[in-house]
Structure 1
Amino acid sequence: MNPVLGRPRPKSTVRTAAILGVMALALASSALAGPGAGVGSASSHREAPLIAADPQVDNTDVYAFTSPDRQDTVTLVANWLPFQEPNGGPNFYPWADGAHYDINIDSQGTGRPDVTYRWTFHTEDRRGTNTFLYNNGVVNNLTDPTLLFRQYYTLQELRPGCKPKTLVEHGTAAPSDTGKASMPDYGRLRSQATVQLPNGGQTVATQAADPFFLDLRVFDLLYGGNLSEVGQNTLAGYNVNTLSIQIPKSELAFKGDPGRNPVIGVWSSTEKQTMKLSPGKEEPVGKYVQVSRLGNPLVNEVVLPAGLKDAFNSLPPSEDHNQPAVVNKVLNPEVPQLIQAIYGLPAPATPRTDLQEIFLTGIAKAANGPFAVDLNSQLMNQDIDASRFVPAEELRLNMSTPVTANPDRLGILNGDFQGFPNGRRPTDDVVDIALQVMEGATPGHLIPALAAGDGVNQADKPFSASFPYVALPYAKAVNQPN
């Protein structure tokens, strides 16, 4: 597959019908069913065999959106360590010491980061041989001596050809929420853990309620084969570890100019060293290796077959276009054939150049793809060298798209163009959009038979209106008595 070449063009008005077509074709192939079962495959939760065995460094979801209350900034949210049952003590859910937790931004379309924000954690465990408790009393503040297990981080800004810039030298991560008796006001702890950055942004490392919402019985022959198995948010009650960072748009745009260069590509990744094991001890040794990666939701789960999943997690986006097996699964996806077999809906003809555009190049006239509109490709950036552009799987965000005052969960279907795949907001209902557009829905004309979708229209806990936007963690057990 050749790199996409062409001159970048100015932004143009996005046409509702054209972008709906992109969503209909792309989401139908990426957001629904694939091989697997149960809670083992939600967004990017436990998506590949190797990373499923190493949950501390398992990326789950990435969100990128213009901050609704600070519209000169973008908020990036990345989650790790899925399916955290709130009562999972006494060691709960720490970040991995020494691992590199990265959020990467590509402003030129090369598939390589123009800036990386990297969090590296270390642990202070005061329990010793005295107690098994995470905290031995009420924790009202991060500095309380009753908090016995603490984690701190360094946050660096990495740019090619520049020395690493330390933005946070010794930040304190909010702890795992051990319950209301131990931590009566977790919101206060999260506020204390929020750090103002020298560039005008802010960041926090915290536990949060998993923001992704859906009924995972999609994997039982697409909701039972007749849409009868719906209405349960399978992720309700579970927490994740979250890194949120709010950054001025000028820090992310190519040449610092979001007016001329508004589009960025975003992905999260994790690197770790090999562990040398001895009785009761492990020691990191050797070079860092990328073990997890996430851009668009659901790509690794349901586009790639099992035999390619671990390899994809190890690749940088700049290498995607050089992997024929990966590209073939974008151009000739499995899921439409499954949908046809179960529901009798004819699968679109292949090769799927439409999916190539949404997943690998972004949507723009200069991409020379099937959709002659400008939405979210770096080829729209006026100052890039288009000869260096390569197809790469990234979550792309046009930072110039106006903030929707009242975001619609169905996004494109109801005329709201700020949501996925133009970035991703926590409220975007990816699964319901996919169910509708698969059947030919158009803006304002939903398919009545699918009106209820999966019956899960929003997260179980509401999102905050201000940074970091994610909800506070659950503190009650997932398994509640009837």
Structure 2
Amino acid sequence: MTTVNRSARGRKSLAALVCGALAAGGLAAAGVTTSLAPGAANASSHREAPLISGQPQYDNTDVYAFVSPDKPDTTTIVANWLPFEEPAGGPNFYRFAKDARYDIHIDSDGDAQGDLLYRWTFKDHVRNGDTFLHNTGPVTSLDDPDLNITQTYDIELLRLRNQHVISTTKIADDVPVAPSNVGKASMPDYAKLREQAIRQLPDGSTAFAGQADDPFFLDLRVFDLLYGGDLSEVGRDTLKGYNVNTIALQVPSDHIRQSVGQPVIGIWSTTHRRNASGHWTQVSRLGMPLVNEVVVPLNAKDRFNASSPWNDADFLPFVTKPELPKLIEAIYKIDAPQEPRNDLVSVFLTGVKDLNQPPNVRPAEALRLNTAIPPASEPKRLGVLDGDNAGFPNGRRLTDDVIDISLQVVEGELLGQKNDLGDAVNANDQPFGDAFPYVALPASGSNGPLAQGQGGGNRSQLEGGSAELTASAGDNGTLVTTSLVAAGAGIVLVGLGLAWWRMRRRDGAVL
């Protein structure tokens, strides 16, 4: 689960957000968009607040930051948007919004104000608007003319002082985005496309933007009153087979930290959307996992998402007197730790003393990373709780099991109340890479959740690459092939008949 923050900035911006959410809902209700799989779930900023849940292109899902294991003089930052991408969700598939600013903020002195801001903006390119196809043939490179819909992006580096921009430098210009993985027929070598989308920048950084397997692993049935009320609902990675849109940046660590003597940085991401008046409104913010999902109550979630870290004192009572331990106590009779929970303040707001807490820190929800701690040769999924100081909550690696870590911390692990709480999902379903951008390749439309039958009910699939379409019908599992083919042929004939009827009517024929 992941932290997010947003607050309404006046009636106009709030009205714009509500209109956007209602518009999205109206399209869905009208049948313009359809939810094909278990998409109505909540995860790490995956749909964590009411307004942003209707605007997935602008919804941060997770932020990761870690010292690069293969290049320890650099820091890698990964931020994800657009949750629950069903890989077969064509024909438009999944693009970054062109009316958004996707920002990553760096606080290098612990005052909860960004000193550096990396900003991604995206452009759409369509080669042929007279076809419904995302690609008109097999795609073998990012400049393949058969890739009909493409995106490019720019990156700007803004330097700030007291929230005022003092300089802006464009560090990337018209860089190609790795496309959605349509399927094996459309993109027979997707790894090659991914490789072409990794670009070295003139300032010594490396950048990537494109689709990736969702790296967050967890059983989201936690929201069914904590795993079914009896821990019967654990052990299934809810995000298995789903993708996200990823931006990743690997930057020399000395470019983003204040000094060698102060190596701790704070990191968070935001999304701004242009509103009806032409101004930019922050609609999403995310740093530490889980805060907005299970710490901030419903009536403050949207305000949290539009707020800024230097105002996080407004939300301090939700951390020092959290709801989650009380819920666990009510259901599982595990005593909630005594309040106020200053241990949670150190984990989620200030950083842990002598680990990743900067001097004179101002409490704020941000992912804090000590860039002077080298990568672990054998990372442990429980990070600092298991003696691995290179892991969460010192930054966040892709392999860190933040659900288990956070559940154990919430139940008092740092206060001496030892426990082994967890969701029984201990690793991602796909292996992560050994080099930048580290995230796993996205699931393709050929083998996503729908192709695997994860959506429940009847399911269809192409068996063994043959042309025979099979489906399980009803509870008896009877295979119906002939009837499906006949039904398909019938639909085609009906379609042809309607086309003929309309043509005849247009030509004035008497029916």
Partner of 1:279: none
CA RMSD of aligned residues (A): 2.0
2:282 pairs with 1:290: yes
> What code does the residue aligned with 1:224 have?
G
Contact between 1:38 and 1:219, CA under 8 Å: does it hold in 2? no
1:218 aligns with 2:222: yes
Q: CA deviation at 1:437?
A: 5.3
Mapped to 2, the partners of 1:108 and 1:436 lie a distance apart of: 29
Which of 286, 291, 297 pairs up with 1:299?
Answer: 291
Query: 1:478 is matched with which residue: 446, 449, 460?
Result: 449
Match of 2:375 among 390, 403, 413: 403
Amino acid of the structure 1 residue aligned with 2:301: K
CA positional deviation for 1:187:
1.3
How many angstroms does 1:151 deviate by? 0.6
> 1:155 maps to what in 2?
155
Tell me the distance in 2 between the aligned counterparts of 1:76 and 1:104: 11
Contact 2:87 2:182 in 1 (8 A): yes
Question: Deviation of residue 430 (structure 1)?
Answer: 1.6
Q: What code does the residue aligned with 1:211 have?
A: P
Q: TM-score, normalised by structure 2?
A: 0.77
C-alpha distance in structure 1 between counterparts of 2:39 and 2:194, whole Å: 31
Tell me which residue corresponds to 1:383. none
- Structure 1 SS opposite 2:449: coil
Letter of the 1:235 counterpart: L
The one-letter amino acid paired with 1:341 is A
The runs of at least 4 aligned residues of structure 1 exceeding 3 Å deviation read 434-442
**Equivalent-residue separation in structure 1 for 2:155 and 2:367 (angstroms):** 22
Aligned mates of 2:380, 2:111 — CA distance in 1: 32
Conserved 8 A contact 1:38-1:216: no
Q: Indicate the SS of the match to 2:51.
A: helix
Distance 1:441 1:319 in 2: 28
Aligned to 2:356: 376
Deviation at 1:415, TM superposition (A): 1.8
- The yes-or-no answer on 1:53 pairing with 2:54 is yes
**Distance in 2, Cα, partners of 1:38 & 1:177:** 19
For residue 162 of structure 1, report the CA deviation from its aligned partner.
3.1
Uncovered stretches (5+) of structure 1, i.e. residues with no partner? 1-36, 276-284, 365-373, 380-385
Residue equivalent to 1:101: 102
Q: 2:298 aligned with 1:327, yes or no?
A: no
CA distance in 1, matches of 2:405, 2:267: 22
Which residue identity does 2:177 align to in structure 1? Answer: A
Partner of 2:389: 417
Conserved? CA contact 1:127–1:134, under 8 Å? no
1:135 to 2:96 alignment: no
1:454 aligns with 2:395: no
Worse overlay, 293-302 or 105-114 = 105-114
Identify the residue that residue 269 of structure 2 maps to in structure 1: 268
Q: 1:376 to 1:391 in 2, by over 3 A?
A: same
Aligned with 1:340 (options 323, 326, 329): 329
What is the match of residue 145 of structure 1? 145
Distance 1:51 1:132 in 2: 28
- 1:227 pairs, out of 224, 228, 231, with 231
**2:435 pairs with 466, 472, 476, which one?**
466
2:500 is aligned to: none
Tell me by how many angstroms 1:436 deviates. Answer: 4.7
What residue number does 1:391 align with?
Answer: 363
Higher relative contact order structure (alpha carbons within 8 Å, sequence separation ≥ 6): 1
**Shift in Å, 1:38:** 8.3
Q: 2:26 is matched with which residue? A: none
How far 1:327 sits from its partner (Å)? 1.5
- SS in structure 1 at match of 2:221: helix
Instruction: Quote the residue 1:432 is aligned against.
Output: 404
Secondary structure, in 3 states, of the residue corresponding to 2:167?
coil
Q: Write the letter of the residue equivalent to 2:304.
A: F
Relative to 1, partners in 2 of residues 1:436 and 1:350: Cα closer, same or farther, differing over 3 Å? Answer: closer
The 2-side partners of 1:296 and 1:375 are apart by 16
Report deviation, 1:183. Answer: 0.6
Contact persistence 1:65–1:397 (CA under 8 A): yes
What amino acid is aligned across from residue 472 of structure 1 in structure 2? Answer: L
Match of 1:308 among 289, 300, 309: 300
Distance 2:124 2:194 in 1: 18
Q: CA deviation at 1:418?
A: 1.1
CA gap 1:110/1:478 in 2 versus in 1, 3 angstroms:
same
Q: State the partner residue of 1:359.
A: 348
Deviation, 1:410, is 1.9
State the one-letter code of the partner of 2:49: A
AA aligned to 1:338 is L
Is 1:173 the counterpart of 2:177? The answer is yes
The separation in 2 between residues aligned to 1:152 and 1:219, in whole angstroms, is 37
Q: What SS does structure 2 have at the residue aligned with 1:162?
A: strand
By how many angstroms is 1:354 displaced?
2.1
Structure with the greater alpha carbon radius of gyration: 2
1:192 and 2:196 are equivalent in the alignment: yes
What's the CA shift for 1:190? 1.3
1:306 aligned partner, one-letter code = L
Deviation at 1:351, TM superposition (A): 1.8
Deviation for aligned residue 1:220: 2.0
Distance 1:119 1:435, change over 3 A: closer
CA distance in 2, matches of 1:455, 1:244: 28
| Alpha-carbon distance in 1 for matches of 2:410, 2:306 | 32
The SS at the match of 2:121 is strand
Letter in 1 for 2:74: T
Q: Is this contact kept in 1: 2:178–2:209, CA < 8 A? A: yes
> Does the CA-based 8 Å contact 1:136-1:147 persist in structure 2?
yes
Q: Which amino acid aligns with 2:355?
A: L
1:344 and 1:240 map into 2 onto residues whose CA distance is 37
Q: 405-414 vs 265-274, which deviates more? A: 405-414
Question: Contact (CA 8 Å) 2:344, 2:410: kept in 1 or not?
Answer: no
Q: Which amino acid aligns with 1:93?
A: Y
Q: CA deviation at 1:440?
A: 6.7
Q: Give the superposition deviation at 1:186.
A: 1.2
Distance 2:125 2:156 in 1: 20
C-alpha spacing 1:436/1:356, structure 2 compared with 1 (3 Å): closer
Please give the per-residue CA displacement for 1:47-99, whole angstroms capped at 9, x wherever unaligned. 11110011001000000000000000000000000000000000001110031
The residue identity in structure 2 corresponding to 1:376 is N
1:438 and 1:162 mapped to 2: Cα distance? 40
Percent of aligned pairs sharing the same letter: 55
Task: Kindly provide the amino acid, as one letter, of the partner of residue 313 in structure 1.
Answer: N
**TM-score by structure 1 length?**
0.81
CA contact (8 A) 2:383 2:393 kept: no
Using the alignment, how far apart are the partners of 2:358 and 2:119 within structure 1?
23
Q: Is the 8 A contact 1:79 1:243 kept in 2?
A: yes
Distance in 2 (CA, whole Å) between partners of 1:134 and 1:166 is 30
Question: What residue ranges of structure 2 are gaps of 5+ in the alignment?
Answer: 1-37, 454-458, 460-511
